[in-house]
Structure 1
């Protein structure tokens, strides 16, 4: 069972999202918050697997809450759910450690897929958001690629292999099956990769993998 914290200042939105999540018996909403500060407090108490946060909330917005959750509940994966698809929101969400970014206007199936992905240790961007990120990466690709290739030189050959699979969007369990190793070993590799690359999360690592040419 994947335990979820749902935070949005609009009760009607929470009800709609809760109904979508209820269609999957493997998902359970264990707590709901109407603002970012309450979301952080509830996450400390409930320790959910995934925190689904709206970006614009009172007291503490979703970006601030995501940054705080990284500090006080590091095992809780964060997914940003918003009506706003501007590039600056996407960049900020990834920078504070969010593992997923979904638009409220997207297909409800994306919401369920995103929850499962981040709960499994992967990253998830809605197709619309992914297109924006790829478009940004396309600008100045040669220079970025050179810098990314320099960064991955810090990794062992095995770590580069894992990074490529992270970049392909695989979860820890999928990587373990692909490489014929145990999932705990994958987690150790991923942790070492994030440290060596100096990045906060799998999304940022995946971007480096893309820029370095480890994934198409």
Structure 2
């Protein structure tokens, strides 16, 4: 069943891609915006049932926009999109009023199911996300590994440059032209980036880079 929803993310590319994918699945996307801090303005004058809220983790308190939205529009169910590598954020998201938490690198089908669950008044959180959050609370790590740095260590300097261009939405031809390499070489670099990041598509690689803060490391 389709839902009326809005999508807010700190990275406009991610918000627009997600909004387009959900619209193709029959949902009525009332608004797409960036950054996530502007979510209250995004829903103003609209009547969404669900809000998908993605944050890059830059602000000191990334869930203040969520708390504000819950105060102003408590009828809207909010699903937070975030990394699995930061389980402490899962608890923080629910404490701020989230109705669901979905990994930012999940398939669109999982996001779709989360929307249906929160519309029905249920909590939407995957078992692996919940398990990671409990493990973090029960056995906290004094100095957790930085996911962005871990991903950076997987890539060569050339592959990092290619990932930055993928995140900017460039296709293979544009990457080849900008880096002055053959299109076949550019395709090879793109494929290696996707393989090393465990991503199934360019969009998923860009989403992973955005959610973990890897894009900030590339700046």
- Mapped contact 2:38–2:65 kept (Cα < 8 A): no
Alpha-carbon distance change, 50 to 62 in structure 1, aligned in 2, over 3 angstroms: farther
**Higher alpha-carbon deviation: 58-67 or 47-56:** 58-67
Gaps of 5+ in 2: 140-219
Partner residue in 2 for 1:10:
11
Query: Who is 2:64 aligned against?
Result: 64
Check 1:6–1:120 CA distance in 2 against 1; reply closer, same or farther (3 A cut): same
Q: 1:11 to 1:136 in 2, by over 3 A?
A: closer
CA contact 1:8–1:34 (8 Å) conserved in 2: yes
Instruction: Please name the residue that 1:118 is paired with.
Output: 118
CA RMSD of aligned residues (A): 2.5
> Offset of 1:138 from its aligned partner?
7.3
Q: Give the Cα separation in 2 of the matches to 1:125 and 1:5.
A: 19
Q: Distance in 2 between matches of 1:36 and 1:47?
A: 18
Q: Is the 8 A contact 1:8 1:35 kept in 2?
A: yes
2:25 aligned residue: 24
1:16–1:61 Cα change, 3 Å = farther
Contact 1:36–1:61 under 8 Å retained in 2: no
- C-alpha spacing 1:114/1:120, structure 2 compared with 1 (3 Å): same
Distance in 2 of aligned mates of 1:50 and 1:3? 7
Report the equivalent of 2:82: 82
Instruction: Report if the CA contact (8 A) 2:11-2:35 is conserved.
Output: no
* CA positional deviation for 1:65: 1.2
Residue 15 (structure 1) shift? 2.6
- 8 Å CA contact 2:77–2:98 kept in 1: the answer is yes
Give the alignment's TM-score, normalised by structure 1: 0.56
TM-score (norm 2): 0.56
